[in-house]
Amino acid sequence: MFITNDIKYIGVNDHKIDLFEGQYVVPNGMAYNSYVILDEKVAVMDTVDQNFGDEWLANLEAVLEGRKPDYLIVQHMEFDHAANIANFMEKYPEATVVSNARAFKMMKQFFGTCFEDRQIVVDDGSTFSLGKHVLAFVFAPMVHWPEVMVTYDTTDKVLFAADGFGKFGALDVEEEWDCEARRYYIGIVGKYGMQVQNLLKKAATLDIQIICPLHGPVLTENLGHYLNLYDIWSSYGVESEGIVIAYTSVYGNTKKAVEKFAKKLEEKGCPKVVVNDLARCDMAEAIEDAFRYGKIVLATTTYNSGVFPFMHTFLNGLAERNYQKRTVGIIENGSWAPQAAKTIKNLLSECKELNYCENVVTINSALDEVSAAQLEALAEELCKEYK
């Protein structure tokens, strides 16, 4: 695939994968991107997943047209990109690895060698010439590992963005960018909003025409759209108006209350109501929705003096990703000692700027007149701004 006259795509599509990073379902597979810059010197940008070494090396051979690569530039040592470093170095004994000190330390851990006699160590802000193309390295720690750096080709104005601006899904499947990029970002990088903000500030000083991420499509148009979404996500801002209800239910009574509640929200003018059954939906999708919308309602049974296990997992998923700046409503259910509301607040105690609704719904086994009135009051409180 042609990116610019000198930059070619040599990545691969993975449709065999069951869970990306051992936990994320990827119904449309995954792409591991890699690029070649053909100049006086030839540089390869990252490798691919371990199952695709032969295909990747064949893709590389095809664009080299008999030339040999001079450099392998390693931006990220996670194994979906780094697995084939040793294979590459074996195949091209004249090549040199270009990366930073932290990455070389990890290389040694993964491969037992960091190619001491064939390495160039670069610093944050340093530049590297391939001839016509001058590359500038920008360290991006924790986007998404500590050794990550991105690379700006000052000649073609291309940002090689490592995991940044990546998404789930192979490149031979057409799908909307936002949804699977959001699920990818919130799931994988969501905790590191501050670090992404730092990177965006540096990126704002560059004239970027093309973004080449390590996953997902090469972005060539309307870059403001993607940059804006990354700004919202990394600052924990609200992307879409609406209310998301995340619930668990054992015998269906909490579910019935949630269905009634969702209808009320719609009737009261809420522009979008999203309902996620945490035991049955994709947990990563539910977490993504929590970050997308400004308001959330958590509905759950009391269980082992806490909350139902799927709700526990969900709340942990929010807290560990620095969930913040949201309005939170609670519907708790319990047949003898409801205490889900207390547990929810404890589990989210580290989250900043959560605004809990005054009205809490407490259901004793099934909705009755009292809890139905609480449900109405909570809906009213959440929807007053929509009137």
The stretch among 73-81, 227-235, 334-342, 343-351 that binds ligand FEO (CB under 6 A) is 73-81
Query: x/- site string to ligand FEO, residues 106 to 135, per CB under 6 A?
Result: ------------------------------
Q: How is the chain split among helix, strand and coil, in percent rounded to 5?
A: 35, 25, 40
- Ranges of beta strands (E only) in 15-129 are 19-20, 24-25, 30-32, 35-38, 42-45, 71-73, 96-99, 119-121, 127-129
Cβ nearer to ligand FEO, comparing 162 with 273: 162
Cβ nearer to ligand FEO, comparing 128 with 145: 145
The stretch among 76-84, 126-134, 231-239, 334-342 that binds ligand FEO (CB under 6 A) is 76-84
Cβ contact 351:296 at 8 Å: no
- Torsions phi, psi for 292 (to 5 deg): -75, -40
Among 8, 133, 167, 215, binds ligand FEO (CB under 6 A): 215
What's the CA gap between 180 and 27, in Å, rounded? 10
Element (H, E) at 75: none
User: Residue 80 interacts with ligand FEO (CB under 6 A)?
Assistant: yes
Q: Minimum CB separation from ligand FEO for residue 359, in Å? A: 41
Cβ contact 266:260 at 8 Å: no
Among 8, 144, 182, 312, binds ligand FEO (CB under 6 A): 144
Cβ contact 212:158 at 8 Å: yes
Q: Minimum CB separation from ligand FEO for residue 59, in Å? A: 18
Element (H, E) at 381: helix 369-383
Q: Which distant-in-sequence residues (6+ apart) come within 8 Å of 267 by Cβ?
A: none
Pairing of strands 158-160, 210-212: parallel
Block residue for tokens 């000190």: 101
The stretch among 77-85, 94-102, 128-136, 304-312 that binds ligand FEO (CB under 6 A) is 77-85
Q: What is the DSSP letter of 116?
A: G
Which residue type occupies 146? P
Cβ contact 270:382 at 8 Å: yes
CA 201 to chain centre: 19
Cβ nearer to ligand FEO, comparing 77 with 299: 77
Cβ contact 205:233 at 8 Å: no
Residues between 252 and 271 that touch ligand FEO (CB under 6 A): none
Cβ nearer to ligand FEO, comparing 162 with 246: 162
Q: Minimum CB separation from ligand FEO for residue 49, in Å? A: 9
Residues between 281 and 310 that touch ligand FEO (CB under 6 A): none
Size, binding site for ligand FEO by CB under 6 A: 9
Cβ nearer to ligand FEO, comparing 70 with 78: 78
Q: Minimum CB separation from ligand FEO for residue 80, in Å? A: 4
User: Residue 147 interacts with ligand FEO (CB under 6 A)?
Assistant: no
User: Residue 76 interacts with ligand FEO (CB under 6 A)?
Assistant: yes
User: Residue 78 interacts with ligand FEO (CB under 6 A)?
Assistant: yes
The stretch among 74-82, 169-177, 236-244, 332-340 that binds ligand FEO (CB under 6 A) is 74-82
Among 163, 288, 289, 332, binds ligand FEO (CB under 6 A): 163
Cβ contact 14:28 at 8 Å: no
Query: x/- site string to ligand FEO, residues 81 to 100, per CB under 6 A?
Result: x-------------------
**How big is the chain by its Cα radius of gyration, in Å?**
24
What residues line the site for ligand FEO (CB under 6 A)?
76, 78, 80-81, 144-145, 163, 214-215
